């Protein structure tokens, strides 16, 4: 699909009219097609936010449990249960040891689709091994009283280890209909490391697709070829958003450098360009890689932001609380200090809105089973918090 985006969209003029207010860009690239950046501003109901709980330390991931409680990770290595009224449990025992250093620690949490039967809780985390640091993923069984994880099973460990404790990713999602697990990674940031996002013999800057025992499915794109069997796509920077739409399509958002955060429709075997092409520049203003944003054989993002939003987690909206958002993407924005709403049509972005501006550094967004939107605020204790978006009158 991506290979045709430029040709298909080139027939359209670039968007004009009202856009989201976001300041001057860091780079001077022209978008490749209409609405690839700074799409028209969306109208929507007035939205504010209310505190559900606070006192958290660098919260990173949130996932709803059946019955209305939530699991919340704190990057220093704690997993907590939060009741619907905001009451927090003590740290849950049995979580894996994590490398809580620099950008590392306990990262994402996901609840198995069949949790009522198997009580599986999945986590991603930074881990120290001989040689340095890696992203890892696994699952444990949550006790009936919610106090501990038992039978911890690790299914994925990034290779090779890196001496740089940055850009770990990492989100986790379940592929509908197959039971396969999607894990996103980062490329450890440093110039000497980032080039490995193009190397199919590493897990740096990749989307990983494995079964629940950690084995690559036989239909993965590089099984039996040069490269690691678990790789689904490559050429990514630091993917901290992943969600699967109602059609089963995987979408990711990755951090850019100065400019160039990217929304991608992430497909098997494709190369998303980092660090050869980018819609951003290095933090010192120098070009990235080739200095280009478009190159043959490398995919164009469906959307990009410049200046960056600094993406957290995201979710597709479905529910009755905000029916205007049905099918839209809600993406956490750390630098944006808001929830970024994107409307989509035929795989392209048609509009953007910033919800609850000023709410704080949004590290994750969770749309609940009853259509509420829970927002995780990444700050140190006591300011790390869970907020709920509230519809205005």
Q: Active-site residue numbers? A: 167
Residue in the block written with tokens 């939060």 = 82
Best CA proximity match to 373, nearest among 197, 359, 151:
359
Looking at the chain, the number of H-run helices and the number of E-run strands are: 3, 23
At 369, is the secondary structure helix, strand, or coil? coil
Where residue 179 falls (left for φ over 0; alpha for ψ -120 to 50; beta otherwise) is left
Nearest Cα to 160, choosing from 228, 226, 210? 228
Whether 374 and 363 have beta carbons less than 8 Å apart is answered as no
Structure tokens at 286: 């120098």
Integer CA distances (angstroms), 308 to 55, 142, 162, 280, 354, in order:
28, 37, 26, 9, 13
**Whether 152 contacts 158, CB under 8 Å:** no
What's the CA gap between 273 and 289, in Å, rounded? 10
Helix (H, G, I), strand (E, B) or coil at 56: strand
SS3 track for 272-323: CCCCCECCCECCCCCCCCCCECCCCCCCCCCEEECCCCCEEEEEECCCCCCH
Helix (H) or strand (E) holding 142: strand 132-142
């Amino acid at each position: 699909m991506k290979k045709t985006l430029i040709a298909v969209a080139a027939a359209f003029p670039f968007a004009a009219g009202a856009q989201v207010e976001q300041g001057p860009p860091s780079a001077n690239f022209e978008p490749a097609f209409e609405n690839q950046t700074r799409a028209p501003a969306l109208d929507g109901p007035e939205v504010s936010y209310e505190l559900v709980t606070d006192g958290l330390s660098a919260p990173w991931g949130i996932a709803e449990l059946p019955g209305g409680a939530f699991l919340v990770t704190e990057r220093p290595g704690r997993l907590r249960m939060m009741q619907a009224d905001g009451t927090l449990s003590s740290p849950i025992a049995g979580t894996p040891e994590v490398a809580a250093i620099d950008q590392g620690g306990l990262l994402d949490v996901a609840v198995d689709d069949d949790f009522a039967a198997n009580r599986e809780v999945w986590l991603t985390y930074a881990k120290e091994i001989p040689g340095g640091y890696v992203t890892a993923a696994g699952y444990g069984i949550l006790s009936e009283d919610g106090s501990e994880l038992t039978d911890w099973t690790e299914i994925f460990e990034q290779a090779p280890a890196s001496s740089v404790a940055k850009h770990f990713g990492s989100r986790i999602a379940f592929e509908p209909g197959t039971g396969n697990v999607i894990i996103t990674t980062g490329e450890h940031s440093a110039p000497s490391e980032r080039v490995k996002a193009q190397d199919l013999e590493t897990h740096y800057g990749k989307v990983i697709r494995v079964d629940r025992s950690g084995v690559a499915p036989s239909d993965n794109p590089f099984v039996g070829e040069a490269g690691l069997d678990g790789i689904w796509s490559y050429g990514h920077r630091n993917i901290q958003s992943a969600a699967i739409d109602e059609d089963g399509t995987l979408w990711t958002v990755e951090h850019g450098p100065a400019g160039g955060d990217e929304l991608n429709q992430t497909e098997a075997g494709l190369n998303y360009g980092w660090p050869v092409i980018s819609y951003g520049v290095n933090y010192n203003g120098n070009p990235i890689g080739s200095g280009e944003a478009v190159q043959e054989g490398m995919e164009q993002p469906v959307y990009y932001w410049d200046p960056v939003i600094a993406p957290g987690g995201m979710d597709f909206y479905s529910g009755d609380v905000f029916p205007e958002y049905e099918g839209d993407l809600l993406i956490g924005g750390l630098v944006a200090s808001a929830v970024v709403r994107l409307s989509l049509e035929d795989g392209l972005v048609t509009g953007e809105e910033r919800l609850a501006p000023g709410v704080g550094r949004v590290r994750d967004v969770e749309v609940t089973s009853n259509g509420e939107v829970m927002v995780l605020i990444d700050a140190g204790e006591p300011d790390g918090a869970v907020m709920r978006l509230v519809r205005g009158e």
